[in-house]
Amino acid sequence: MRLKDKIVIVTGGGSGIGKGIAGRFSVEGAKVVIAQRNQEKAEEVAAGLRSRGAEVVAISVDISNRTLVRELVRKTIEQFHRIDVLVNNAGITGLPATSRFLDCSDEHLNTIIDVNLKGTIICSQEVAKEMVKSGGGAIIHISSVAAYAAQEGATVYCATKAGLEGLTKSMALELSSHNIRVNCIAPGDIRIETNEVISDEMKAAGVSGKYFREIPLGRRGTPEEIASAAVFLASDESSYIQGATLLVDGGFLIY
Identified catalytic residue from 157, 211, 240, 255: 157
| Residue 89 and residue 13 in contact, taking contact as beta carbons nearer than 8 Å | yes
Q: What are phi and psi of 153, to 5 degrees?
A: 80, 10
Local structure of 120: helix, strand or coil:
helix
Report the C-alpha gap between 209 and 215 in whole angstroms: 15
Across 49-144, the runs of DSSP E, i.e. the strands, are: 56-60, 85-88, 137-142
Report the C-alpha gap between 27 and 185 in whole angstroms: 20
Residue 157 appears among annotated catalytic residues: yes
Local structure of 41: helix, strand or coil:
helix
Report the C-alpha gap between 20 and 227 in whole angstroms: 6
How, if at all, do strands 180-187 and 137-142 pair?
parallel
Rg (alpha carbons) of the chain, rounded to whole number? 17
State the catalytic residues. Answer: 157
